[in-house]
């Protein structure tokens, strides 16, 4: 199967799992559940689930355990977008090609949609262990911890706090990198980590699998997480809103420090290319089992939206 077919299959698989995990709009409170489904279903590139499945394939994970992790990272991501779009944060009206959740459902509902999606993410992560693999239930602990750290104040939410405090300020390169490693990178990184941990949970006898896999995958994930953000900054300048499905040019409009504003466009592109090459290098010790990860890295760096 070529990468395009595989990615479409995994995105489809994620969509079906999310559809199952999200309460129906007919379940009380209907408006909240409709808002959650509106925020999550039928949109987005599903990059984080693709990383989960690709890392899981590399680590020999049971696909049934990967489904929960794929849903979990996408649910946290969707919650972060809903909250990020609120008037008190980015105040955006367009996301994934449609009105943002607070525009469609009101601000208070949008807050609750985000809150509930975050809680649902942890339920989605744990549930397959309880249902499909009850004997392995104790092994979900490290995955819960990793996701909590990535989403919380030392990860994504912390990065967002630094970002909000940096508007109109000049950040040096190190601070900009730290901010992005937390805000965007942590969730991409944990997507790879959850795939690896699902592999360990599925076959602990093979723990460590090929030696050094844990560290190499983490280095790869950090590099690709940063590359994702550099490309995001480039696209914010070069792509239009219709292509992005969100408002283009926001960073400059809001005076946000970005890789493009700090380095200039040419050097930002060079940095993305360098990080891409380094990410491939980090997987050099692995054989064809890491091919899907290599291909997701290519998708992240070469994407147009
Ligand atoms: C509100 C706690 C909290 C955190 C918000 C992720 C985030 C933190 C804010 C989003 C702002 C933003 C545009 C960040 C740049 C990188 C990014 C996360 C882009 C959107 O992710 P994609 O491109 O989106 O994967 P899709 O829609 O394809 O899933």
Q: What is the pTM of this model?
A: 0.94
- The average pLDDT across 122-134 equals 86
> Given pLDDT bands bounded at 50, 70 and 90, which one contains residue 209?
low
Atom of ligand 1 nearest to the CA of 228: 16
> Given pLDDT bands bounded at 50, 70 and 90, which one contains residue 299?
very high
pLDDT reading at 141 higher than 70: yes
**What per-residue confidence (pLDDT) applies to 136?**
77
What is the pLDDT of the chain when averaged over all its residues? Answer: 92
**What per-residue confidence (pLDDT) applies to 244?**
81
* SS3 per-residue string spanning 242-279: HHHCCCCCHHHHCCCCCHHHHHCHHHHHHHHHHHHHHH
- The average pLDDT across 25-30 equals 97
Nearest CA to ligand 1 atom 17: 184
Please report the sign of the dihedral spanned by the C-alpha atoms of residue 152, residue 154, residue 160, residue 161.
Answer: positive
Q: Could you tell me which of 224, 218, 258, 255 has the C-alpha nearest to residue 238?
A: 258
- The average pLDDT across 99-123 equals 98
157 lines ligand 1 (CB under 6 A): yes
Pocket test for ligand 1, best of 42, 48, 81 (most atoms within 8 A of CB): 81
> Given pLDDT bands bounded at 50, 70 and 90, which one contains residue 64?
confident
pLDDT reading at 89 higher than 90: yes
pLDDT reading at 126 higher than 80: yes
> Given pLDDT bands bounded at 50, 70 and 90, which one contains residue 139?
confident
- The pLDDT > 70 percentage for the chain reads 97
pLDDT reading at 254 higher than 70: yes
CATH classification for the domain delimited by 3-299, as one of 2.40.30.10, 1.10.600.10, 1.10.3720.10, 3.40.190.10? 1.10.600.10
Question: Where are the chain's structural domains?
Answer: 3-299
């Amino acid at each position: 199967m070529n990468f395009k077919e595989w990615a479409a299959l995994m995105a489809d698989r994620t969509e079906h799992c999310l559809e199952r995990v999200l309460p129906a709009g007919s379940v009380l409170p209907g408006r909240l559940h409709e808002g959650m489904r509106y925020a999550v279903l039928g949109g987005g590139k599903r990059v984080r689930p693709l990383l989960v499945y690709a890392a899981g394939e590399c680590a020999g994970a049971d696909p049934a355990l990967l489904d929960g992790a794929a849903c979990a990272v996408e649910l946290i991501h969707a919650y972060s977008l809903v909250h990020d779009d609120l008037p008190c944060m980015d105040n955006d009206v367009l996301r994934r090609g449609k009105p943002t959740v607070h525009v469609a459902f009101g601000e208070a509902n949008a807050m609750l949609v985000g809150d509930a999606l975050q809680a649902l993410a942890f339920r989605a992560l744990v549930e397959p262990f309880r249902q499909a693999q009850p004997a392995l239930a104790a092994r979900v602990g490290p995955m819960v911890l990793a996701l909590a750290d990535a989403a919380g104040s030392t990860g994504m939410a912390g990065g967002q706090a630094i970002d909000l405090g940096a508007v109109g300020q000049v950040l040096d390169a190190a601070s900009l990198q730290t901010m992005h490693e937390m805000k965007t990178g942590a969730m991409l990184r944990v997507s790879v980590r959850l795939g690896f941990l699902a592999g360990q949970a599925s076959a602990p006898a093979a723990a460590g699998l090929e030696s050094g896999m844990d560290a190499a995958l983490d280095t790869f994930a950090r590099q690709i997480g940063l590359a994702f953000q550099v490309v995001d900054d480039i696209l914010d300048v070069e792509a239009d809103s219709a292509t992005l499905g969100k408002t283009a040019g926001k960073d400059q409009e809001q005076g946000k420090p970005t890789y493009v504003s700090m380095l200039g466009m040419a050097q930002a592109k060079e940095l993305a290319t360098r990080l891409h090459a380094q990410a491939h290098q980090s997987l050099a010790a692995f054989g064809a089992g890491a091919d899907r990860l290599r291909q997701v890295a290519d998708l992240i760096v070469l994407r147009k939206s």
